[in-house]
Amino acid sequence: MKIATYNVNGINARLPVLLRWLETSRPDIVCLQELKSPHEKIPENAISEAGYNAIWHGQKRWNGVAILTRGLEIEEVSRGLPGDPEDEQSRYIEAKVSGIRIGCLYLPNGNPAPGPKFDYKLEWFRRLQQHAQDLLKREEPVVLTGDYNVMPTEKDVYKPERWVDDALFRPEVRTAFKELLDQGWTDAIRKLYPDETIYTFWDYFRNAFDRNAGLRIDHFLLNPKLENRLKAAGVDREVRGWEKTSDHAPVWIELKD
């Protein structure tokens, strides 16, 4: 079972790249973020012709998350992160696929910090912690994956000193991420590669990809039921080098059946 997460930065602008990647990588389950598309404009037919079922939570212009599966049945559990009925942003969708519960999330960026956007990020993080705690009470395997917009440690940033005041790296969000892990979640990439420099995002400016000036902000968190099933994990780095690509690369894990 191969599960992937990919911040596409606009699903319509990214469609050729997305389809090419699906064909080469062939993940069984895919979590997408930053669809930047209203519900009715998601390219449903193209996804279906590529052999994937899909559920999604779109939004005009911003955000948007989706779960795709290669022929597997998707049972949607919820859309929207619990804890704030006023929150209109499409940043969370959860489903059950093949006995695995999958939460697909797009955590707020939070810049500029401090400020209202940073407050929203921290509040969203608190709600995520609460929901994650509830999920841990379950007996079933659970994956919480997506764009967390957090570099967990200095190893996850090309130049940590430049990012200390940024909403993706400030102590508050690193602490929040650590608290999440301390609940009992495993960071899949770090479990398999504790010391390697691994990035999942390179910005479009200043030849960041060529200079490998990257960040690790897309993560897979596994509950204890899944930890022992983790077989492999990686980043499809080459996709970041394709024409008209996203600023993120896809990240994936493989689980024992």
Partner DNA sequence: ATGCCAGAACTATTCTGA
Closest distance to DNA from the beta carbon of 3 (Å) = 20
Strands 142-147 and 100-106, bridge-based pairing: parallel
Please report which helix (H) or strand (E) contains residue 57, including its range. strand 53-57
158 is catalytic: no
Residues 145-184 that bind DNA (CB under 7 A): 147, 149, 168
| Size of the chain in residues | 257
Nearer to DNA, 217 or 233 (CB): 217
Of 184, 173, 185, 180, give the one whose Cα is nearest residue 215.
Answer: 173
Q: Measure the CA–CA gap between 182 and 112, rounded to whole angstroms.
A: 27
Closest distance to DNA from the beta carbon of 149 (Å) = 5
106 is catalytic: yes
Q: Measure the CA–CA gap between 162 and 143, rounded to whole angstroms.
A: 31
Closest distance to DNA from the beta carbon of 78 (Å) = 22
Structure tokens of 79? 């859309």
SS3 148: coil
Out of 43, 108, 146, 152, which residue is the one contacting DNA (CB under 7 A)?
Answer: 108
Strands 29-33 and 2-7, bridge-based pairing: parallel
The interface mask with DNA, positions 33-62, x = CB under 7 A, is: -x-xxx--x------------------xxx
Nearer to DNA, 39 or 191 (CB): 39
Catalytic residue among 92, 106, 148, 199: 106
Contact between residue 102 and residue 3 where contact means Cβ atoms under 8 Å apart: yes
Closest distance to DNA from the beta carbon of 257 (Å) = 32
Out of 13, 50, 192, 230, which residue is the one contacting DNA (CB under 7 A)?
Answer: 13
Catalytic residue among 6, 52, 147, 156: 147
Q: Measure the CA–CA gap between 20 and 37, rounded to whole angstroms.
A: 20
Residues involved in catalysis: 106, 147
Contact residues for DNA, defined by CB under 7 A = 7, 9-14, 34, 36-38, 41, 60-62, 108-109, 111-112, 117, 147, 149, 168, 201, 203-206, 215, 217, 244, 247
